[in-house]
Structure 1
Amino acid sequence: MNLTRRQWIKNGAQLTAASMLPWSLWADQPQVPHINIQARETTASWFAAPTPIWAYNQPKLTLQQGVMQTLRVTNHLPVPTTIHWHGVRVGNAMDGVSGLTQAPIEPGASFDYQIMSPDAGTFWFHSHHNTIEQLARGLYGALVVTGNNEPRFERDWPLLIDDWSLSRNGRIDPAFANRHNQSHAGRMGNFLTINHQAGPWRGEANAGERVRLRLINTATNRILQLHAAFPGALWLAKDGQPLAIPEPVPEVILLGPSERWDIGWIARDAGQLLEVSGDEPLLVAQVDLNPAEGTGVPAYPDAMALPANPMPHVPAGVNQRVPVTLEGGAMGRLQTAQFQGEPHSFRELAARGQFWAISGQTGMPEAPLFRARQGESVELLLDNRTAFPHTVHWHGHHVWADGRWHDSLTLLRGQKQSVRLMAGNPGKWLIHCHMIDHQATGMMTWFEVV
């Protein structure tokens, strides 16, 4: 069942651095007992009949900044899988990319991830093996890394916002690889969930309490347009990295797949989070006010500003400049591209299920897009020459753009953007579009830190 954006709006309302430490030094950090994560088949109680989904037994993980943690992942699925720790500056061997940094975890097997985040903030984790299907089936969770000097928020809520493509029987549409979707904006869902529960999400705060909303777009392809109707709310962090000075939340938050925003708010009135890209606003979340006696919380913004993470210094100069040209797709201008080491016309690429390219390469090339030494500054010249938006994601790194750090950045149609990447942990790191349909059909590459 292919529903329009308007139908999705209506149905949704009705259906309810590395820090520059080398990995060898990180490994000397003290460890705490391991956490068991199970990838498994389960069901969601969204309708009268249960909906089969895939999920983790730990939908939210909380780690401590700077503390090494063993996360033992056991695969109870009938197919191989991995976990990618999105936005966390991990060692390369722990990045969870099937075929690049590790072999997939076979059914019945386990794998121990050794994770230490140098950063406090909002991250998430998800499958990075056959992602086009496994993410759409629900294999993701929230990852919160707490710091020692963060302000106290009386209410702290991660909101993982997803759209599911469901058939009329309430089950996940099994047509994951649809060539029309893949060559356009990607597979779009018709059912809204927040934290794997049917939307809208609801919470309650006492008058005067500090509220932290961690907004995480876990959709496979949809760019969310969110209106945060929380009077006086402030934008605290992007992709886990605090803003130097909290900023007023704009009228519309453009949140591409995998991007995160942290919003801080003093509860003085009720508030709502709305998705506003359609003809009618869709209620995503609502916080009701308990008119109890106030808590005496000091006025913001200083009460909610987050301490900076140990991000690298961005020097004035750069060591190299690298064009990153996004090409292809329907109504694009891509004529030819390299695929598996050979040039192909766009028609030939499409016949092989490859619709997108990065700098003339489609699919994973043998050679990296660039190599850099640890600590070098690389300027990436992003150029979206396609008819569609793309959310570019860098593994193991954040890039500096517009005065803030990003591990994922949305480029609209025809948009150009210069960003700075400081080469961190050594290894092979993926760059790809986080519209998963675009990644699966060519829009991915990699770089190497030596």
Structure 2
Amino acid sequence: MKKLWLGTVLVGVIALSAACSNSMQGHDMSNMHTKKETTSNKENLPLANDTEALSGKEIHLTAKETLLQINDQVKLPVYTYNGSVPGAQIRVKQGERVKIVFKNELPEPTAIHWHGYPVSNDQDGVPGVTMDAIKPGETFTYEFTATIPGTYWYHSHQKSAEQVDKGLYGTLIVEPKEGEQVDRDYTLVLDEWMSQQQASTTEQSNHTNMHHGNSSMMHDMSMYDIFTINGKSGQAIEPLKVKKGEKVRLRLINAGYMSHKLHLHGHSFKIVATDGQPLNDPQPIKDELLNIAPGERYDIEFIADNPGEWLLECHGDMKGTDGMKVNIQYEGQTNKTDKTNAKETLPIVDITTYGKYKTGPFTLDQTYDVEYTMDLGTAMDKNGMVFTINGKTYPNTAPINVKKGDIVKVKLVNSSPMDVHPMHLHGHFFQVLSKNGKPVTGSPLIKDSLNINPGEEYVVAFQADNPGNWMFHCHDLHHASAGMVTELKYKDYKSSYTPDPNDTTNKGE
């Protein structure tokens, strides 16, 4: 199974190709407006689908099972936060102290990881590394200060290849103190699901055969035949309403395991942020594809200056591609409806050359305290294919050992012959310095998730400014569960958490 979100709106081992997604169910938010500060003091669009928006000093989340109606033919048993996929959106202001009271009503242990957000290590939500898994019926309280604005998400980090695939994810939006300077603000979560076994499914939640976590399935990405946006597919996806002259922000989040190439019809747009971090002087682009890898987020903005009905759609030729598209409708307009062009060949935005160049926090020629090369590969063992870092699988991979304050450079090389590896670092942002030996020529590129195609090489840098033991892993979570994980370990960090060697419930991969 797999998932996506359309609220304040926009989300393989052997074959990882381009795709697209959406999902929701639970609370009826059709009459709710989320008030936001904008240049025109307009209200935000009501939340689409049924995902609730949560704010305030104390937020309550509950993980539980339910059924998700993806389209008019397919209903799937899923895991949810607060009864919807994507789960409730947490929306807070920069500077606020966030307290999330989380209860587990699932039939198995779980935990929440705050993807992209530099929380303190004890709040990172990785069982066996930062905490014990939260058992069925138990409650755990997460707390952190929302210091850095941007688009983030949260998801299970317990048996994550299975639990995230069942829908266990939501979105986290941190608004800047001055408010968002837009008229409409949509969050769109992309995902993929399998329908083969579900077509004859009754109301029973037989999860065992419903997700791609089965070892017999895990390498066959073609089984994902339904792509969603906010947990819905095709005609079930609610349109995005706009008015002529408005500035519209789309927050695109990929919660799935495939990359998705999106095309915005009829409008030029700017990429204003990636992984929540702003880009310098973004320029308008049109009729180019935005490739969004697993774990990545892109915020784009456009001016609604072309009345009619247009599409934001996924390009590709996989079976589920046609379901990953959403209509953009101008209110009060009756112009002819836009037509799909998902097979058209269009250029893909090169984010390493996009925006205006300026010197970022780090440079290629400066002195680094720690340098680490990460060779991403594949191998075979007695259980089949595994995914390796420098020839080893976790927990036998060599960690990146640092002290607080160290400046760290990491070279990431994808030596896998066919597999794409979207690498995600917990607890830190890194700057992308070069791609295939060529320095980044666009805006300083600050990210926490980086997509690396076969044969590609990137150099990234960051400061070790958040003490702890942090995961650095592939966000095709099947690859992570099959070994492609290492740790960033602070030599001078003393954790208050000691894993119980007899507790077999901690499966933090």
- For the aligned pair, the TM-score class normalised by the smaller chain equals 0.7 to 0.9
Output the amino acid matched with 1:247.
Q
**Structure-2 change in CA distance of 1:409 and 1:198 (3 Å):** same
Quick one: distance in 1 between partners of 2:67 and 2:216? 29
**Deviation, structure 1 residue 143:** 1.0
In structure 1, the gaps of 5 or more residues are 13-30, 293-311, 329-333, 335-345
Aligned pair partner of 1:260 in 297, 303, 320: 297
Tell me what 1:327 maps to.
377
Aligned pair partner of 2:165 in 136, 151, 168: 136
Instruction: Indicate if the aligned counterparts of 1:326 and 1:357 stay in contact, CA closer than 8 A.
Output: yes
Instruction: Indicate if the aligned counterparts of 2:413 and 2:457 stay in contact, CA closer than 8 A.
Output: yes
Quick one: distance in 2 between partners of 1:395 and 1:374? 15
Secondary structure, aligned partner of 1:122: strand
Aligned positions of 1:264-283 closer than 5 A: 264-269=301-306, 270-278=309-317, 282=322, 283=324
Secondary structure, aligned partner of 1:59: strand
Quick one: distance in 1 between partners of 2:268 and 2:406? 40
**Deviation, structure 1 residue 115:** 2.1
Tell me what 1:442 maps to.
483
**Structure-2 change in CA distance of 1:195 and 1:177 (3 Å):** closer
Pick which of 79-88 and 355-364 moved more. 355-364
In structure 2, the gaps of 5 or more residues are 2-14, 23-54, 202-206, 334-359, 433-439, 493-509
Using structure 2 for the length normalisation, give the TM-score. Answer: 0.71
Aligned positions of 1:22-37 closer than 5 A: 33-37=57-61
What do the CA deviations read for 1:392-438 (whole angstroms, capped 9, x no partner)?
00001111013211110000111111111221210000011000110
**Structure-2 change in CA distance of 1:49 and 1:191 (3 Å):** closer
Aligned positions of 1:217-228 closer than 5 A: 217-219=254-256, 221-228=257-264
Secondary structure, aligned partner of 1:244: coil
Instruction: Indicate if the aligned counterparts of 2:62 and 2:102 stay in contact, CA closer than 8 A.
Output: yes
**Structure-2 change in CA distance of 1:162 and 1:175 (3 Å):** closer
**Deviation, structure 1 residue 42:** 0.9
Quick one: distance in 1 between partners of 2:310 and 2:361? 37
Instruction: Indicate if the aligned counterparts of 1:67 and 1:117 stay in contact, CA closer than 8 A.
Output: yes
Aligned pair partner of 1:156 in 159, 162, 185: 185
Tell me what 1:106 maps to.
135
What do the CA deviations read for 1:367-388 (whole angstroms, capped 9, x no partner)?
7521112222111011100021
| 2:205 is aligned with 1:205 | no
Quick one: distance in 2 between partners of 1:246 and 1:291? 31
Quick one: distance in 2 between partners of 1:390 and 1:162? 17
Secondary structure, aligned partner of 2:90: strand
**Deviation, structure 1 residue 274:** 1.5
| 2:401 is aligned with 1:371 | yes
Tell me what 1:314 maps to.
362
**Structure-2 change in CA distance of 1:412 and 1:246 (3 Å):** same
**Deviation, structure 1 residue 264:** 0.4
Pick which of 397-406 and 234-243 moved more. 397-406
Quick one: distance in 1 between partners of 2:426 and 2:279? 21
Q: Over aligned residue pairs, what C-alpha RMSD do you find? A: 2.8
What do the CA deviations read for 1:41-96 (whole angstroms, capped 9, x no partner)?
11112346742211111521102212211101100000000000100010000011
Quick one: distance in 2 between partners of 1:443 and 1:42? 31
Instruction: Say which structure is richer in strand.
Output: 1
| 2:458 is aligned with 1:417 | yes
**Structure-2 change in CA distance of 1:63 and 1:288 (3 Å):** same
What do the CA deviations read for 1:265-309 (whole angstroms, capped 9, x no partner)?
1111244211112279735222111258xxxxxxxxxxxxxxxxx
Between the two proteins, what is the percent identity of the paired residues? 30
Structure with more relative contact order (C-alpha pairs < 8 Å, separation 6 or more): 2
Quick one: distance in 1 between partners of 2:476 and 2:217? 11
| 2:411 is aligned with 1:381 | yes
What do the CA deviations read for 1:284-336 (whole angstroms, capped 9, x no partner)?
222111258xxxxxxxxxxxxxxxxxxx94363321210011011xxxxx4xx
Secondary structure, aligned partner of 1:93: helix
Secondary structure, aligned partner of 2:325: strand
Instruction: Indicate if the aligned counterparts of 1:84 and 1:126 stay in contact, CA closer than 8 A.
Output: yes
Output the amino acid matched with 1:191.
I
Quick one: distance in 1 between partners of 2:271 and 2:223? 27
Instruction: Indicate if the aligned counterparts of 1:384 and 1:412 stay in contact, CA closer than 8 A.
Output: yes
What do the CA deviations read for 1:335-355 (whole angstroms, capped 9, x no partner)?
xxxxxxxxxxx3xx2x23561
Quick one: distance in 2 between partners of 1:51 and 1:11? 15
Output the amino acid matched with 1:194.
I
Quick one: distance in 1 between partners of 2:221 and 2:404? 35
Tell me what 1:71 maps to.
100
Output the amino acid matched with 1:276.
H
Tell me what 2:331 maps to.
290
